[in-house]
Amino acid sequence: MSLYTNFAILAFSMNVPFVSGQQFDRGVCLATVNATYNSLYTQNPEYFASYTNGSRPFLTLPGCNALCGKRWGPYNDCGPRLLDWIIPAIVLIANLHFVPIGWRRYMTIAHFLGDPIDTIHRQLYLVEGWAENLRIVKKRLSRRVQFRDLDIPEGLATILSAADRLLDPQESSDVLGKVIEWLTFEKNSRFEARFDELKKVAVTLRHLRSHDSRRTGVAILLYIFQFVVVFVYRIGGSPSPSGGRVSPAMMLSWFLPVVLLSNVTGDYGSWRQAQDTIHGFLTKAYHQDDLVSSATVPVQDPIAVDEDLDLVPARVPGQRQTSGSSWWHTLNAQFSELACSGSMRHHHSSSLSRKFVLGLISVFPIALAGATAFRVDFTGPTWFSCRAVAVLSSCAGWFLSCIFTNLAIKHLHIEYRWTVIFFKDVIIGTSIIALIFLSTAGLFNSCYCVSGIIFRGKAKAYVDLNPVSLYPYNNTVYSWTVGIGLFLQMLIVPVLRLWVQREGFRTIWWKIPDESE
């Protein structure tokens, strides 16, 4: 008979619970082993590591499989573990600034979860576009004497940025030249009235931009409070914080800067009203007072308007397609609008160092979240465990997703480009979230994973059934890792707003002169 059968008969004759086919539970297994430690150690010494003792048994991997159960089992407190981060995460996602309702709302969520690096990058380039528009406006207006003493650049930059955001690329490509032509038409005979009208439109667009900083602040505090629940015994009810509870929350800590960045940039509360405002103003600028109708004159090439502005037409990623009526074309057209919203309609001349800085900032929140989650998992008694592999795999998935998005924009045909990206986001996003969800519930709660076989190797793998002595060290690692990680995540947006992209944020939320009037 096999060793497995012999042990089954022996366990039955000794009245020892035989749990080889059951789920792993460290506490139950410890109680079982302690109750019959002497007889088990005498009959099957190969199931125990050489440094084991009665108060702290160390099982080999075969011994753990035989005595504790080979299958993985959910944690006894998997419900509270999941609620620790699921509810705060959902509240944070709800505070994102979404595009208008419909398919695009779900596409925004899919892109947020499936490609967070590209999501951050688009937000950064939205702010960068505002700053660049202000630079262009100032350069154009500096050549005209009548504009030099007027507080007009921010207002005109607001209109130009609104056109970039709300209009088709063909419509927005020549807004600045047409508006300046409209202001200076007929030898400035109506300049003051037109300047006042431009100011009113800019103020209206400025007021239409909204943000929910207070509500977002509450959501962020709720997310941070979950860590207080884990670390404070009187609130969370746990004498020692669990890495399995802390790690998933840290893995999603990049939610904090992304949601905060989404709110400090803001968006138009009513796209329809903002579009009506900009369309109405441009109709006057293009047609009023005997201006030549833009319908009879070809759209002026932006390069011809001002060659030294470093503003060249962009190959618009995902322009709406009018041909075809299948669901595939419809979905691609819907997502193409999302692709342009929040991104620049023109490629501005940014230095390589500037592009590198923005790219580094886009990657930093994800890398920081992965590093802190990995450090939480890289603790005793398991050290490099299955959960650490899951953390690295999730980070790799998000990095590959960003690479795929950029390659798809450059090489896939526009007819199906954005639909492919959307389904890619859904697959990667749901896979990673499901992996984090199952990991929190106990997917890696098995003899194989807790033995540290990945870190120690098969010959030296063991399961520490009573690792109480390691808790003080782990608690110190958890508290410092969580504190530093959350501090750096929350520091990203203030650094952007006060230093890296100060000019862009100042343009977005420019102070309206004489607002009381």
| Non-local CB neighbours of 170 within 8 Å, separated by 6+ positions | 299
Query: Is 290 contained in some domain?
Result: no
Query: Is 33 contained in some domain?
Result: yes
Provide the Cα torsion 294, 297, 302, 308; round to 10°.
-120
Query: Is 192 contained in some domain?
Result: no
Count structural domains, the chain. 1
Query: Is 206 contained in some domain?
Result: no
Site of tokens 């207070």: 214
What is the distance between the alpha carbons of residues 466 and 30, in angstroms, rounded to a whole number? Answer: 7
Q: Specify the pLDDT at position 240.
A: 65
Query: Is 50 contained in some domain?
Result: yes
The tokens describing 258, both together, are: 């992304």
Q: Specify the pLDDT at position 346.
A: 43
Q: Specify the pLDDT at position 73.
A: 76
Structural element, H or E, at residue 60: strand 58-60
Site of tokens 């202001």: 183
The tokens describing 229, both together, are: 């629940």
Query: Is 30 contained in some domain?
Result: yes
What is the distance between the alpha carbons of residues 499 and 502, in angstroms, rounded to a whole number? Answer: 5
Q: Specify the pLDDT at position 190.
A: 66
Backbone angles phi, psi at 313, to 5 degrees: -60, 140
Per-residue pLDDT of the chain (517 residues; tens, 9 = 90+): 444 344 333 333 333 444 444 788 888 888 888 888 888 888 888 888 887 777 788 899 999 888 888 888 788 777 777 877 788 888 888 888 765 555 677 888 899 999 999 999 988 988 988 888 888 888 877 766 556 555 678 888 888 888 887 776 666 667 777 777 777 655 555 667 777 888 888 888 888 887 777 788 888 888 888 887 777 655 555 656 778 888 888 999 999 999 999 888 887 877 788 888 888 888 877 765 433 333 333 333 332 333 333 333 333 333 444 444 455 555 555 455 444 444 434 445 567 888 899 999 999 999 999 999 999 999 888 888 899 999 999 999 999 999 999 999 888 887 788 889 999 999 999 999 999 999 988 888 888 988 988 888 888 889 988 888 888 888 889 989 999 999 999 999 999 999 988 888 888 887 766 554 4
Separation in Å, CA 114 to CA 99, 107, 413:
17, 10, 21
Greatest CA separation for the chain: 108
Q: Specify the pLDDT at position 234.
A: 53
Domain that holds residue 20: 3-67
Query: Is 490 contained in some domain?
Result: no
Q: Specify the pLDDT at position 375.
A: 94
Query: Is 296 contained in some domain?
Result: no
Its pTM stands at: 0.80
